[in-house]
Amino acid sequence: MFTAEVMRDPYHYYGRIRDEDPVHWNELYEVWAITRYNDLVWLTRNHDQFSNAVLANDPRPAYPAISKSDNELYDIMRAANQQRFIQYDRPEHLEMRKVMHAYFSSKSMEEWRPLVRSAIAGLLDAAEARGNVDLIRDMAVPLPVLVIAKMMGVPASERPHIRMLAEKLFHNGRSEPDRMRIVVEGIMGMND
């Protein structure tokens, strides 16, 4: 899952396991990779059998492995991420969701449509100017950051800084053994 080859081209790897083994057990990391939409929906709706509190319930060290000197940073990352509402089980998760629900109703989403279209156009224009596009790096990461920053009232001049911090948070899903310093920089920056 975390080899350099897969990290460069995750689409081939995950597409293959989606086609051949959609509920895949990764022996090396002792983790399930669920790759089909209907399976994920079923899993998330069976909250009595499955917990969202992955970070709180998983006693294992970081995987892939991190530098031993970064264990304290890993603890900071775990503690920060354990507080995200997606890491809570029902009923706490539902209570937290209720607070945000009004922002994501159909009516609210329709009001944000011009902003989203404008953000997409800007990201595509930038990709066209570069002559290439990486859908994750150039669209899937910055688009939600841009929209959420606008929803939260972050001034346009500060949104590039928020995007940079958000990109640091994504280093947690990478395989570099020294990635925790970058992740914690992102967490601390967001907290500030």
* Residue found by looking up tokens 């950051």 in the block: 145
Please tell me the predicted confidence (pLDDT) of residue 127: 92
- The pLDDT assigned to 75 comes to 87
**Does 51 have pLDDT greater than 90?**
no
Give the amino acid at 188. Answer: M
CA distance 87 to 109: 24
pLDDT at 140: 86
Q: Is the predicted pLDDT of residue 23 greater than 90, yes or no?
A: yes
Estimate to the nearest angstrom the gap between the alpha carbon of 82 and the chain centroid.
14
First to last CA, the chain: 33
Residue with tokens 């264990």: 71
The domain 51-191 having CATH identifier 1.10.630.10: the answer here is yes
Reported as a pLDDT band with limits 50, 70 and 90, residue 12 is: very high
Q: What is the pLDDT of residue 16?
A: 95
Mean per-residue pLDDT for 38-54?
Answer: 88
Look up residue 130 and give its two tokens.
Answer: 């570069």
* CA–CA gap between residue 34 and residue 18 (Å, rounded): 8
Task: List beta partners, residue 33.
Answer: 24
* Rounded CA separation 138/154 (Å): 20
Which residues are within 8 A (CB) of 112 and not within 5 positions of it... i.e. 6 or more apart? 147, 150, 151
Dihedral over Cα of 171, 172, 177, 181: its sign: positive
pLDDT in tens, 84-135: 878 888 888 888 888 888 878 888 889 889 989 998 999 999 999 999 988 8
Residues of the chain with CATH 1.10.630.10: 51-191
Q: What is the pLDDT of residues 53-95, one digit of tens each?
A: 887 888 888 878 888 888 888 888 888 888 887 888 888 888 8
Q: What is the pTM of this model?
A: 0.68
